[in-house]
Amino acid sequence: MSPAEARLNPIASRSSQRILFPRRLRRTCFHLIQRVNMKLTLALSLVLLVFLCQNVGGKKSHKPADLDDNEFAEFEDFDDEGAEQEATVEEEADFPSESDDIVKTQAKKDDDNEEEEDEGVVENDDDEFEHFTDEDEFEGFDKESRPGKGKSHEVPDLKIAKVPIHLRTNWDSFYLEMLMLAGLGVYFLNFLAGKTKNGKLAQAWMSSHRSILEENFAIIGDDGLSKEAKGTGVFNKESENVYTLWCSGRTCVEGMLVELRLLKRQDLINVMTTIMKPASDQIIVKVTMDASSMDKFCFCIGQKKVMAKLLKEQPDLGQFTEKKAVENYNLPESFQLQSEIGEATSIVLDKKVCAYLEKYEQQIEYIHISDQYSGAKSQYDENQSKMPDVRPSLVFCFNVPGKGKTKTSDVDGMLPLMKLVFYCVDKVGRLALSKEKRLKAEKNRAKAAEGYLKAAHSQLQEAAQLRREEKRRLAKEKIMNEEDPEKARKWEERESKRDMKKKQAKTKMMKVKGM
Amino acid sequence: MSNAATNDVKRPNKIHRYKPKDSSAPGDDPTPDYMNLLGMIFSMCGLMMKLKWCAWCAVYCSFISFANSRASEDTKQTLSSFMLSISAVVMSYLQNPQPMTPPWQ
């Protein structure tokens, strides 16, 4: 209002004054308000900015550590780890109970989801927890970022491949099978090695002894199967460690069987036994004499350990021979002498033979010369009632030096012993006992034969007795089964009469004898 | 030794044929027969009771029997024993492919 108008209108002028005065105030107030407004707006905008930032940051990072700072923390998205959530539940004890329940149920839900995922099946969320997924219910709750649901979308269907059972376990777990196979492999390799070694030893013996054999025999090596008696010149392989050679066609001799009883190098168990208890390869020479070529006597000399066994096994040694002193012949103490006729023994054990025995003490196992040689007694036939088949024979058993670790050169060293064999054969063929010694020998043999006859007779008697008993038993059984008492009584009467007669006959015989 | 008369020693007209030892009589060494029997028993045990170690023992027994066998013996029996033990091992592993566990475990 202008001043002129104010004079005309005093009220208006007063109001205008009033207006003037507050105008200044208004202006200042306006300015103040403006300033305050600006500040307020600034502050509000700052708050909003912070709030927005927090919201955005909450989406990106899943740190439950912000729980304390943000009042919206309880509605924040958590990681899937149920353990983590449980840990956070335990840690944040000052949470309102509502938020605890929410966290727990969320954790449980995630756990359920995890279990379901292990089975390879994805199930929908439970309906009872649907209100937790309502966006309207909670501020700042982001339905899209729920871990359970998100996870179920990400994890594909798990298909457990069917691995075969035998490939699941490691090859290392089959160590026992590997051991077994290795053992078999070792056994087989040893078999091959032992077989080859034995073969080589036999070959070496053959090559070194061929000349002496050819000098003495018409045929060397006969398997007995071929039509013609042709000398093969090679061993017969009885087994991987036993080789035999039959030679024939010589004076006084029916034939000679050379048996190479080598160690069982092809059997690993035997090899290990030999390592613990050393043994030697043996050469057994058995010369079968012609029936008329040899005088009747029995003789054996050998290592003490072997003699005990021979005495048990060889019936002729047990029947005819007696132990004699070795000192009489100046022989080593390790030998034991069994002899029937001393004259024959002294003829056989001449200087040359004694020299051989002394020189090759370790190599000569035994020398058995007998006209009643029948071979080893069978263990099963204890009561020998029948006289065994006897042939006049000379048996030589030699040990190959080396005690198992034999080389082919050791086998060559057996040649002098083969010469000893032929020497003894010739000597025994020429041997002639004096008359009385011969009679003594014959008497011994007759006694032995009688003994066999008696044994046979007693066996027959026993058999007859048994048969009689059996008959009586059967008859008695028959009578017992008989129902008719009359018949039974009659039979019993007959039996008693028979017994009486027998007794009378015996007493009669006794009386006659006494007279 | 009578070197001069060595030629007189040979008698080609007095040749006697070799008579092979009676194989039916029990020999000196019963090992192959025992091992054969043992191998068969182990094979049957391994097959019936599904015991792997029995089957393996059967293989070993038949191997030992083969190594100690005499030439005069029938190879068919040794071979059949061997095949039986192999079949026992194979059957035990087919039925139960798990590795063998030692008895002390």
A262 vs A202: CA distance, rounded Å = 9
Interface touch A248/B56, C-beta < 8 Å: no
Under the banding of pLDDT at 50, 70 and 90, the label for residue B1 is very low
Within a domain: residue B17? no
- Residue A128 distance to chain B (closest CA, Å): 49
**Regions in chain A scoring below 50 on pLDDT:** 60-68, 80-122, 125, 150
**Cβ contacts (< 8 Å) between B69 and chain A: which residues?**
239
Within a domain: residue B47? yes
State residue A34's pLDDT score: 64
State residue A64's pLDDT score: 46
Within a domain: residue B79? yes
Q: Which H/E stretch holds residue B80? A: helix B75-95
A284 vs B40: CA distance, rounded Å = 35
Complex ipTM: 0.90
Within a domain: residue B18? no
Angle at A205 (CA atoms; ends A201, A210), nearest 5 degrees: 150
A313 touches B: beta carbon within 8 Å: no
A1 vs A15: CA distance, rounded Å = 10
Within a domain: residue B62? yes
**Cβ contacts (< 8 Å) between B59 and chain A: which residues?**
180, 184
Interface touch A177/B99, C-beta < 8 Å: yes
φ, ψ for residue A501, nearest 5 deg:
-60, -45
State residue A62's pLDDT score: 47
Two structure tokens written together for A267: 């059997």
Q: Give B12's contacts (C-beta < 8 A, 6+ positions apart).
A: A218, A249
pTM over 0.90: no
Angle at A14 (CA atoms; ends A10, A19), nearest 5 degrees: 140
Q: Count Cα atoms within 13 angstroms, Cβ side, for B12.
A: 5
Interface touch A250/B14, C-beta < 8 Å: yes
Angle at A306 (CA atoms; ends A243, A352), nearest 5 degrees: 80
A280 vs A305: CA distance, rounded Å = 14
Q: Is A340 exposed, middle or buried (0-12, 13-18, 19+ CB in 10 A)?
A: buried
Question: How many domains is chain B built from?
Answer: 1
368-407 of A, contacting B, C-beta below 8 A: 378, 380
A350 vs A135: CA distance, rounded Å = 128
Angle at A496 (CA atoms; ends A494, A498), nearest 5 degrees: 70
Within a domain: residue B80? yes
Within a domain: residue B90? yes
State residue A402's pLDDT score: 83
Q: Which H/E stretch holds residue A19? A: helix A10-60
Interface touch A184/B59, C-beta < 8 Å: yes
A284 touches B: beta carbon within 8 Å: no
Range scoring the smallest mean pLDDT among A139-148, B32-41, B82-91: A139-148
State residue B40's pLDDT score: 94
Nearest to A388 by CA among A402, A375, A398, A405: A375
Two structure tokens written together for A51: 């709030």
3-state SS of A458-502 is HHHHHHHHHHHHHHHHHHHHHHHHCCCHHHHHHHHHHHHHHHHHH
Nearest to B34 by CA among B61, B63, B71: B61
Compute the residue count for chain B: 105
**Cβ contacts (< 8 Å) between B10 and chain A: which residues?**
215-218, 249-250
**Cβ contacts (< 8 Å) between A177 and chain B: which residues?**
99-100
Range of the domain at B58: 30-97
pLDDT digits (tens, 9 = 90+) for A345-372: 999 999 999 999 999 999 999 999 999 9
State residue B15's pLDDT score: 85
A173 touches B: beta carbon within 8 Å: yes
pLDDT digits (tens, 9 = 90+) for B61-79: 999 999 999 888 788 888 9
Q: What is the DSSP letter of A438?
A: H
Under the banding of pLDDT at 50, 70 and 90, the label for residue B102 is confident
Within a domain: residue B82? yes
A286 touches B: beta carbon within 8 Å: no
Compute the residue count for chain A: 515
Q: What is the DSSP letter of A408?
A: H
